Amino acid sequence: MNYLNIIIPFVGGLGMFIYGMQIMAQGLENAAGNKMKSLLEVLTKNKLMGVLLGAAITAVIQSSSATTVMVVGFVNAGIMNLTQAMGVIMGANVGTTVTGWLVSSVEWAKFLSPTTLAPIAVMLGVIIMLTGKRRSSKEIASIVVGFGLLFIGITSMSSAVAPLQESEGFRSIFVTLGNNPLLGILAGALVTAIIQSSSASVGILQSLAAAGLVPFSAAIYIIMGQNIGTCITAILSSLGAKKNAKTAALMHLLFNIIGTIIFSVIAIVYFEVLHPEAGVGIITQTEISIVHTAFNIGTTVLLFPVSSWIIKLAKKIGRVEEDTQDKSKVLLDDRILETPSIALQSTVREVARMGEIVKDSLDVAKTVLFTLKDEDIQFLKEEETTVDKLSAGITDYAIKLSSLQISEKEHQDLAHLLQMVSDIERISDYCENISEFAETLYEKKVAFSEIGSSQLREMLDVCIDSYKYALEAFEEKSREKALKVIEKETQADNLEITLRSRHIKRLTNNQCNAEAGIVFLDTLVCLERISDHARNIAEEVLESVA
């Protein structure tokens, strides 16, 4: 038997299978982009919602490894805690079974026969790709072409290994794997760890099953091993991450190991004691899908009530506690870039968090000129340093995101976000300026006159309200609040002219201290510019929701 004639078509088929799976997943992800963004909001919900989220995202991107890598990224960025991560990890194991059902559909849906349907799907996808001008057409084309290539790949693998039916040595290998659970589990784990895709590993097993080479018991143990092998990607991804991110990867490994141990014991009892004859029968592709799905759902249902214990065990083994969050650290992680639509939504959340920090600064700036408290002055300076770090980090991340394959609309959204980051950062600068003005008043032991204080408070109210409306407009995508900002900004412009004129008259009439008067005028300039930047944010919102 010429094994080279088997290996080359098999490897080529595997490559086509993986490539087809990737471009189909990319098309699905792009088509579901907005929905995937909204799925991110589920992260704030309970663990059960996390399971559903993990299953949904994995079903779209067709890779539990990719989902878990994203989870490690979320935990490392501080967006997700370990309890939420546990739910998503459990769901990812369920969502990854989708590919197996696509492959096995050639058995339970005869009209999907790859020999006839796959070439038609590829040709149809290419026609749509060449003739379609809309973005949605390109996404549909990717899904259809990927679907066709996936089936061509699995057909190529199955045809390549068909001659091995005559090889007693190859058959004996699978018999050995079926008789020795540990070897079967190790074989599944090793192959999956090497190719770093449980979906592709299951596809390989199904191609061997199509050739009638895999006994039932061997398939069971190999499938369990595949679930362990798929953890290698997240573990490698967690290297260099924070301790609690490494804990998330360890949770994934523990979850799959515990599930494998439980169901291996059940399988051993069944095949060795209750029904020994069941293990020697040849498994079909559909039966592999059933076993794979039952195993992952069963493990999730069984371990869901005790998932908090798994978290504790992972933390104990890793000797870590969840890190305290430094608010100046950008809560974005390069691992999330694997799914650009979610990375974009994470960036939106981070810009909003930066905006809330500046809102808190403005609340302090509103009173610091009158109280002159040193702790408030120092707070504003520290917050400005925090905002500078966030601005730089968000900008760097957005640039990385813009270099990926994202839609024109997402490029526009990124451009709006970058402009908003710049405006928010400038407002923070003005808050620091106000703290310096307060410092000047304190050092020179001067204060505003009663009428000056009253007028300044009026200006503060208008300008700070304009920013708060702008932030709410951004967070809620509200046209009404964005238009309210424009009203406030116009009011601030008029008020600044009026108050400046009145103040100059008071200075001329010696009705207020000259040094305090200079601070008054400088503060008016800062506040008017704050309202200008708030208007810029509002206009970005109006453009993005148009």
Quick: pLDDT tens for 274-329: 887 877 788 888 889 899 999 999 999 999 999 889 998 988 887 765 445 567 78
CB 194 within 8 A of CB 156: no
165 touches 183 (CB < 8 A): no
How many other CB atoms sit within 10 Å of the CB of residue 136?
10
Task: Report the predicted TM-score, pTM, of the whole model to 2 decimal places.
Answer: 0.70
Per-residue pLDDT reduced to its tens digit, 149-171: 877 877 777 677 667 666 666 66
| pLDDT tens string 181-219 | 898 899 888 888 887 777 778 888 888 888 787 888 888
Higher pLDDT, 473 or 280: 473
- Three-state DSSP class for residue 542: helix
381-390 per-position pLDDT tens digit? 999 999 999 9
Q: Which residues pair with 282 in a beta bridge?
A: 215
pLDDT exceeds 80 at position 269: yes
For residue 59, give both structure tokens.
């079903």
Question: Which of 329-338, 449-458, 472-481 shows the lowest per-residue confidence on average (mean pLDDT)?
Answer: 329-338
Amino acid (1-letter code) at residue 250: L
| pLDDT reported for residue 30 | 66
Rounded CA-CA distance 101/93 in Å is 14
Share above pLDDT 90 across residues of the chain, in percent, rounded to a whole number? 33
With residue 298 as reference, give the H or E element that holds it.
helix 285-303
Among the listed residues 500, 529, 531, the one whose alpha carbon sits nearest the alpha carbon of residue 517: 500
Q: What is the mean pLDDT of the segment spanning 226-235?
A: 85
**Exposure b/e, 353-383, CB count within 10 A at least 16 = b:** ebbebbbebbebbbebbeebeeebbebbeeb
Q: What is the mean pLDDT of residues 59-67?
A: 73
Greater model confidence, 365 or 36: 365
DSSP state at residue 304: G
Spans of all domains in the chain: 4-318, 338-544
Q: Residue 215: helix, strand or coil by DSSP?
A: strand
Average pLDDT over the chain reads 83
Residue type, 200: A
Q: Tell me the backbone φ, ψ of residue 239, rounded to 5 degrees.
A: -65, 125
Q: How many Å apart are CA 100 and CA 186, to the nearest integer?
A: 20
Q: Which residues contact 433 (CB under 8 A, 6 or more apart)?
A: 522, 526
Non-local CB neighbours of 261 within 8 Å, separated by 6+ positions = none
- pLDDT tens for 238-258 read 776 677 778 888 999 999 999
Q: At what angle do helices 181-195 and 198-210 cross, to 10 degrees?
A: 120
The pLDDT, as a whole number, for residue 36 is: 55
CA distances from 340 to 334, 402, 435 (A): 10, 9, 39
Complete DSSP assignment for 217-238: HHHHHHHHHHHHHTHHHHHHHH
pLDDT confidence of residue 164: 64
Q: What length is written for the chain?
A: 546
d(CA 486, CA 238): 46
Amino acid at 27: G
Q: Are 253 and 322 within 8 A, CB to CB?
A: no
Place of tokens 């779209």: 60
Per CATH, the homologous superfamily of domain 338-544 is: Phosphate transport system protein phou homolog 2; domain 2 (1.20.58.220)
As a whole number of Å, the end-to-end CA separation of the chain is 66
What pLDDT score does 423 carry? Answer: 96
Q: What is the pLDDT of residues 25-57, one digit of tens each?
A: 677 666 665 555 555 555 546 778 888 888 887
Residue 276: how many CB atoms within 10 A of its CB? 11
Mean pLDDT in residue range 212-233: 87
pLDDT band at residue 1 using 50, 70 and 90 as cut-offs: low
Task: Tell me the HSE value of 354 on the side-chain side, using a 13 A CA sphere.
Answer: 35
CA dist 203 and 187 (Å) reads: 15
d(CA 65, CA 232): 8
- Give the residues across from 215 on adjacent strands: 282
Average pLDDT over residues 464-480: 93
> Could you tell me if 253 and 85 are in contact, meaning their C-beta atoms sit under 8 angstroms apart?
no
pLDDT exceeds cutoff 70 at 108: no
If you write DSSP's letter for every residue of 104-150 in order, what string do you get? HHHHH-GGG-HHHHHHHHHHHHHHHHHH--SHHHHHHHHHHHHHHHH
Counting residues of the chain whose pLDDT is more than 70, the rounded percentage is 87
Looking at the predicted structure, is the pLDDT value of residue 17 above 50?
yes
Instruction: For residue 405, count other CB atoms closer than 10 A to its CB.
Output: 8
